[in-house]
Structure formats: C-alpha cells, structure tokens
Structure 1
Amino acid sequence: MSTDPSPSESEVSPPVDPPEPGAADTAAAETEATEAQAPKRRVVWVVFAVAAVLWALDLLTKNLVVANLEGQPPKPILGGLIYLQVIRNAGAAFSMATGMTWVLALIAIAVVVAIVWIARRLRSVGWAIGLGLVLAGALGNLTDRFFREPGFLRGHVVDFISAFVPNGQGFAIFNIADCGITVGGALIVLLSLLGRDYDGTSTRKKKEKA
C-alpha cells in the first residue's frame, strides 16, 4: 500500500514571527523625524547664507568709501537721491546712543548669540531671512567696534549713506548694516503681525484651538 510522500524539509516554510506591537509606529515616527530635519537644516542655512552675503557687502562698501571718499565733500549719486560721505559713528544705528560704544558692542554680541541659538529651532523661511538680515547688521557694525579706531570694543562705525540731502540733514547717515537691521526687524514684525511664528506654525491657529 502506497502512502503520500511527506513534504521535504526544504518545502516546509519556517514559521514567521508576528511583528512586535508598536514596531510599525516607531518606524513611522523615525521616518517623519528624519524628513522633518531636512527642511529644518535648510532653513538654518538660509539664515547664515543671507547673513554672510550682506555682511560681506557691508564690509566691502565701508572699505571702499573709507579708501576713496573719507575727508571729501558729499558725493551725490542716483540724481541726488543718495549722498555718499564718510563719518565715524560712536553710537548705535543711525547715530543714536553716542558715547556708549562698548555697551553697544556687548549688546550686539548678545544679539548675535541669541540669533544663532534661535536658528536651531527655525522652520520659517521668512523668519530665517529676517534673522539673517539682523545678524548681518549686528556683525557688520560689531566688526567696526572690534577693529577700527580708537580700539577694541570702542571702534567707531563707518556710516556713509545720507538720504535725499547731504550731511544727514534730512535723515541720519547710515550704512548697509543698518539697512539689514531695519529691514530684517521690519520683516520679523510683519510676520508676527500676520501670525507666522518662527517654528513655521500659525499663532492664530494656536489661539483658535485654545
């Protein structure tokens, strides 16, 4: 009497262990975290790229006007819309707080440190651009505080842009760094008014959920 052949060992599939509870959720969470880090890193680099470009432009323009225009009368450009003339500013942006040079230098250092710390948490490109502009402005004027006369932390900032009329008669004489601080600060204020937070979320939606 014949009997059915028993299946060979190679034909028998080994038992498959069921997936551990929560393993799929853990893998999905790790994937989402990895994907979230990529845009975060890109936003951080926006801050430093904007800051580097404007900082370099500020240093270049200051060195050029010092080398070519210092001690000369105001030079009109753009049909008199702008007058170029070099002054040495011991105060803050737009010649404010004159006589507090070393205090202003310490404040600028604190601003730089704060922006670098916040940059790690950024998710908003708009905030990244705004902070990059402010960072460049702080670094530009801080560079003058460090390396220009009369000495370390007491150096006078080079200002050279007089708007509309010479000698700062219509508006305080300023530089590219001051422009970065002003435009960057205005952009950050605008984003805040629109409810856009630095981490990419909407403050208005947060209030609605609350």
Structure 2
Amino acid sequence: MSTRTLAVVSAGLSTPSSTRLLADRLTTATVEALPERGVAVTVEVVELRQHARDLADNLTTGFANQALRGAVDTVVGADGLIAVTPIFSASYSGLFKTFVDVLEKDALTGKPVLLGATAGTARHSLALEHAMRPLFAHLRAMVVPTAVFAAPEDWAGGDTATPGLTGRVRRAAGELADLVAGRPPAAPADPFADPATSFEDLLRGS
C-alpha cells in the first residue's frame, strides 16, 4: 500500500469553530476512503488563526518566518488539500485569502483540492462556486466537483451532522480520494528552493 500526505487548511477564527468541525469531517471521510483505493495517508493540519500575525508580517516584509514557512511547505508538499474557510460578505475570509496570496503562483498547479465553507446562513452557499472555485481555478489546482457548504442547520445537534451534510461530505471525500490515489506521490519540498540569503551574498560574506 502506497502512502500519500493530506494537508488540511482551516481558516476558522474561533476555538472551537464550525469551520474546523467541517474540516475534520472532510478529513475523516477522506482518510476512510483512501485505504479502499490501496492508499495509506498521513494528515497535517494548518490552523490559519495561529499564523495571522505571521501572515501580516509576510505581507509587509516579503519574508515568511519559520512557523509560516512550515505551514506553506506542508500545503505545497502535500498530495492532496482540503481547504475550508468561513464566508464573510459572500466570499472567503481575509485570513484565508492572505494565506493563498503568500503561496508561489505555481504552488498548487495540478494538486487535488476539496473545498469547504461555513457561514451563519445558507444564503452564502454559492460563495463556494462564485468565489472559491474561481480562485483555485486561477491557481490551476484540480478541484473536485463536489464542494461542501455547512450552515448552522446542517449540524443537527452540537457537532452531529445532518444526513444531507454527511452525504455531501462522503461524496466529496470520495472524489478527492480518487484523484489523490491516481497521482504519483508529490516530491518533497526543496528547502533550498527559496533561500533567505542569496548565494551571491553568501560568497561576499553578507
């Protein structure tokens, strides 16, 4: 059985959050689906709220610190990605978009991606199609057909999902598992691909 790595990006702002809850449901379903396709999986989770200050510093300085670089490398080096954001004003959150903005333009090319979103009302459900899907199409990611939206009424009691949400989660997870299982493992990230100090500076002793 071959092994793949799954990165999970959650842009929830609170602890606990419905965004992380949905991300966990999608992750569990994908982890259960992959062995059926002959693939073992390891999971790495990136909580963007922990990197909010790092992301702001990156925007103003142009450099990622060690913690943010680790998060970026996790996403770039993964064989598949689950990306979940809360929806504000009919679009993805600013925190989610900021993380996407610090990725290299070709970082997600061809990467299988499952999109998820949460909001306080089901009226925001189309944000997955008119905001998130075009964003990842621009990044040339391979987005699965089923995107999963969860409104408060989709959680029947506490963190228990309704049958409708459970069905959407399983369908989307199966689509992601098909894509991940059908691709060769991703090459590990090259730690020397973007050195903080140029080789010219090193030669000059800078």
> Same fold judged by TM-score > 0.5?
no
| TM-score class, shorter | under 0.3
The structure with the largest alpha-carbon Rg is: 1
- For normalisation by structure 1, the TM-score amounts to 0.26
- For normalisation by structure 2, the TM-score amounts to 0.27
More helix by share: 1
